[in-house]
Structure 1
Amino acid sequence: MNIQQHVRIARIKQFSRYLYLALSGLRYVLWVVWPLAVAAMVFGNKMQINVRDMQMKDVEPSLLQRVLLVGALSAFMFVAIKIIFHFRELIRHFSEGDIFNKAAIDHARKALFSGLVIYGLYLVVMVASWVWMIQQSSGVSVNVNLDVSFIFALMFFGLMYVLLWALEIGSDLNEESELTI
């Protein structure tokens, strides 16, 4: 094996360890922020709502609105923690130099699926905010803007699936080479 590849692999392992530690810290921060944010939504008196062009300050949300906000936040935080967990485990495999195995690919697949779920939640919240704005307008014309960021999201998730498939092909080739040897 070329000596330059050893140096490159060592750098990838070292960077992966740093990323693993950063993801561990982020995971613990989310576990602390989640209950604090829920408490603020449940026990807070007034809220400030910013939805695109419409701003409402000092709104007193109803119990149903608070429950919906807490539910949406909790679903988002749960899925975000799942993404971080699976991505962290994938990076752990990278830091150990064991990239092309079934466990690493399983974590990558689960992280990608969780990313799709969180993006789906984002789209549901966006549509719900449009409906809420129309409902609150009471006859006033509401300007609903269509955000085309979904195109970038589709490109991102397409790229991630290509990388996942590359990991799967690498794993299959790794298994075949082990059987050959």
Structure 2
Amino acid sequence: MTFKGFSKKDFKTMQIPGLDARMAGIQSDIQPKFKAVGEELTTYLSAKLGDEMFLHIARHQRRSVNPPESTWLAICHDKRGYKKHPHFQVGLFDNYLFIWLAFIYENEESAKIANRFLKEKKLLADLPDNFAISPDHTEEKTYPVHDGQLEATLNRFRDVKKGEFLVGKIYLPDDNHLSPGKDFINEAEMVLDELIPLYKAALQ
């Protein structure tokens, strides 16, 4: 498909009641966009990193009752899976779109990564003021990256078994970066450029 951008309809899809109905909307309206966006960004990251990257699209197959509150694509160096590795995400809640560098609770090196970020403070200090962080990929709550929550979030990521750390940028449904498609791709590439130094540091 030709990617024309994300629309308010995509956010409303994440409000559809019921597991089956919401999943039908995600599969018909959002996942084709994820495939188009993801293929472009996977190619971009592979070239930037000099390492083959692979696209994964969340299928929510473990869901049996409650519909997913968010949905996403992930880009990772591992073809078989992304959850235990540092990876990039583009996804939606019903009230914002996110572009994250994600370290979720399955990550097996959370202590090492958190300590590196806590020690090498410049890596995060150099991020733009309009970037955000999240301590939990399943929750909508985010914090501005420079508002004082950063150290506590990294400590939790290091010390708590289910701790997570996501960093990147969020967009409200009426943000003009979301469409047309070319504008969103350009914006996403700029965000990824800011996150690549963190990704590389996490893999060291």
* TM-score over 0.5 (shorter chain): no
Question: TM-score if structure 1 supplies the norm length?
Answer: 0.29
Larger radius of gyration: 1
Q: Provide TM-score, normalisation by structure 2.
A: 0.27
- The structure with the greater share of residues assigned to strand is 2
